[in-house]
Amino acid sequence: SRPFTEVALFSVSSYACQRRTTLDNHNSNLTDALSLLAENAELSNEDGRGVAFRRAAALLKALPTQVISMSQLRGLPCLGEHSLRVIKDVLENGVSSEVESTKQSKRYKALKILTGIFGVGAKTADRWIREGIYNLEQLRDSGQTLNRAQKAGLEHYDDLNEPVTKAEADAIGEIVQKAVNSVLPGSEVALTGGFRRGKLTGHDVDFLITHPEEGKEVGLMPKVVAWLESQKTTRNSYLESKDGPARPASNMDRFERCFSIFKLTKRKEQETASHKIWRAVRVDLVVSPISQFAFAVLGWTGSKLFERELRRWAGHEKNMSLSSHALFDNTQNKYLRATSEEEIFAYLGLEYIPPSERNA
Ligand code: TTP
Ligand code: MN
Ligand code: MN
Ligand code: MN
């Protein structure tokens, strides 16, 4: 048996997709610090550093108790030198000096504000900062040309930076269901993203749409958007989207999609002093053919790190390529069909992890 130690040693798998990560996080003091540094790295186009901090944070989220001493972390995977330095700082001083100075930095503050605008990514924000634009007022005064999405993003800035509640997500779900069923009866709508993982709030609401008959879903997105646009004057409707409906390809997948803004009428008790009776909410709509639906649900449920780790596991450990469309076995040189997430985990040789435990 093991010699007595004051603090229990943890044993944790190295891939986040091998672990069960609930929303119950015993180390938020540490994971908040690492997540902020990850975010700062991502906003600065330092993806490698970003992933390293995300992996370290995810590992700490999976621990069953609070870490109080560095010795508990000995031998654990995913904790690089830099992350360990940050953790040590927080454990010893209550805060990380690097996190504090990042939070105070003019550049980080500006990146947060500017990328908080729908349709503005790290690249655009960086260009504006180099032109001396650090906040919304300076942006408005600068005469920068904004695209339609960015204009809407600026107009609804406060609404879109206010977390979406589960009740609001459910209300949006009803609108989407109605729209989809109006233009193509028999279609199915699935809630994905953070709300499927059991989160109580989110930055948007994510939906995946399909139809049980393969091929029927082709061209569905423009029809759904047209239907929603025709409802513009009603209580709940569609306001604007990024790059229009049916944007073809991104670096992530090739589904028909619409990253949009919805208008959601508030219930009486939610009305505020401003007498605004509705609010803008970010909604992501994606259409998948039924043959790819299981892969699409898995790919759009997240978390982002969980997805990244699944693909890394598939490639490095199984010689397979996983995407939101399919799973390809490079050894057998063939696609592996699946109609459920459980089957995909089984192909990958992983224990099934339900959505509520994918909060890595
Ligand atoms: P998000 O909606 O960005 O994240 P989330 O729902 O986990 O968190 P939040 O509550 O803040 O909204 O993304 C959801 C999933 O969609 C995520 O696992 C990654 C996936 N995704 C793609 O597959 N392709 C894409 O182009 C984008 C933007 C997301
Ligand atoms: Mn617990
Ligand atoms: Mn989401
Ligand atoms: Mn989303």
pLDDT digits (tens, 9 = 90+) for 63-122: 999 999 999 999 999 999 999 999 999 999 999 999 999 999 999 999 999 999 999 999
ipTM over 0.90: yes
Q: Among all ligands shown, which has an atom nearest to the Cα of 61?
A: 2
Tens-of-pLDDT digits for all 360 residues of the chain? 555 545 567 889 999 999 999 999 999 999 999 999 999 999 999 999 999 999 999 999 999 999 999 999 999 999 999 999 999 999 999 999 999 999 999 999 999 999 999 999 999 999 999 999 999 999 999 999 999 999 999 999 999 999 999 999 999 999 999 999 999 999 999 999 999 999 999 999 999 999 999 999 999 999 999 998 888 756 556 666 665 444 444 556 788 999 999 989 877 666 666 677 889 999 999 999 999 999 999 999 999 999 999 999 999 999 999 999 999 999 999 999 999 999 999 999 999 999 999 999
Nearest CA to ligand 1 atom 13: 193
pLDDT at 6: 53
The catalytic residues are: 204, 206, 284
What residues flank ion ligand 4 with Cβ within 5 A? 204, 206, 284
Query: 334 C-alpha to center of ligand 3: Å?
Result: 32
pLDDT at 248: 45
Mutate to test the pocket of ligand 1, among 61, 115, 206 (most ligand atoms within 8 A of CB): 206
Find the residues whose C-beta lies inside 6 A of ligand 1: 193-194, 199, 202-204, 206, 250, 252-253, 284, 299-300, 302-304, 307, 324
pLDDT at 233: 59
Walk me through the domains of the chain, giving residue ranges and CATH numbers: 16-102 (1.10.150.110), 105-145 (1.10.150.20), 164-288 (3.30.460.10), 294-357 (3.30.210.10)
* Long-range interactions of 232-237: CB distance < 8 A, separation 24+: 235/265, 235/278, 236/171, 236/172, 236/175, 236/262, 236/263, 236/264, 236/265, 236/278, 237/175, 237/262, 237/263
pLDDT at 239: 67
Closest atom of ligand 1 relative to the 251 alpha carbon: 26
pLDDT at 247: 46
Query: 160 C-alpha to center of ligand 4: Å?
Result: 13
Nearest CA to ligand 1 atom 1: 193
Q: Among all ligands shown, which has an atom nearest to the Cα of 161?
A: 1
Q: How far is CA 257 from the centre of its chain?
A: 15
Query: 197 C-alpha to center of ligand 3: Å?
Result: 10
pLDDT at 249: 46
Query: 360 C-alpha to center of ligand 1: Å?
Result: 13
Query: 303 C-alpha to center of ligand 3: Å?
Result: 9
Q: Among all ligands shown, which has an atom nearest to the Cα of 66?
A: 2
pLDDT at 174: 94
